Chains A and B, each alone.
Chain A
Amino acid sequence: AQTVTQSQPEMSVQEAETVTLSCTYDTSESDYYLFWYKQPPSRQMILVIRQEAYKQQNATENRFSVNFQKAAKSFSLKISDSQLGDAAMYFCAYRRAGGGADGLTFGKGTHLIIQP
């Protein structure tokens, strides 16, 4: 079974600074997808960024980028120029490539606090 581990229950960063959230996972599959979701107080789950395991290039979406280390099974999220609206719970998630039958496997989340 796949597992996703987020070892930082809470992180705090000054507005406009850069912060990195950690995620490691365990799987025996060679082809899979990794995701970062944001959950603000409204509880809405919002997809932040997605990485295909077969791609060596790290995904980037504006101020959000990932550091994907397949051999180490590590998938960290870097947020540059942090903004107050980035404050939320962030969840790392895994999904095997063969299809969605088993859904997403989520980590326990990291609570990101933005200090003004």
Chain B
Amino acid sequence: NAGVMQNPRHLVRRRGQEARLRCSPMKGHSHVYWYRQLPEEGLKFMVYLQKENIIDESGMPKERFSAEFPKEGPSILRIQQVVRGDSAAYFCASSHAYRGDTEAFFGQGTRLTVV
């Protein structure tokens, strides 16, 4: 029973390139959350998705960032025209239900470095 799988673990992009981060939730989970962790900081909520729907993107930057969770396949966090300030660890979490007490299982994160 695989956990939440994120790939790649490490991603290096030059300024102006696009970054695509993938997250495969745990089997049976239809709720996906993306978080960003800057150095020396806690995780910050970015977006919450269910299959084919963005439920809450209040934590997403208004420009250059987008997320999707298609009917088939992993959830994708896409960052266009990356800048140095996008360098961070990006975590995905999944859960099987919407309730606040439902445990969210985290992946190991993707560390994005923009050079």
Q: A33-B101, A50-B103 are in contact. Are A101 and B42 (CB under 8 A)?
A: no
**Cα distance A103–B92 when bound, in Å?**
11
- Chain A interface size, under 10 / 10 to 19 / 20 to 34 / 35 or more: 20 to 34
List B contacts of A102 (CB < 8 A). Answer: 45, 48, 56, 58
Among B31, B35, B42, B58, contact of A100 (Cβ-Cβ < 8 Å): B31
Describe A's contact surface by its main secondary structure. Answer: loop
Tell whether, in the assembled complex, residue A100 and residue B108 are in contact, meaning their CB atoms are under 8 Å apart: no
List A contacts of B55 (CB < 8 A). Answer: 101
Q: Which of B1-50 contact A (CB under 8 A)?
A: 31, 33, 35, 40-45, 48
Q: Which of A27-51 contact B (CB under 8 A)?
A: 32-33, 42-47, 50
Residues of A near any B CB (own CB < 8 A): 4, 6, 32-33, 42-47, 50, 52, 91, 93, 95-109
Q: List 12 A-B contacts (CB under 8 A).
A: A33-B101, A45-B91, A45-B93, A97-B100, A99-B100, A100-B31, A100-B33, A101-B55, A103-B33, A103-B59, A104-B104, A107-B42
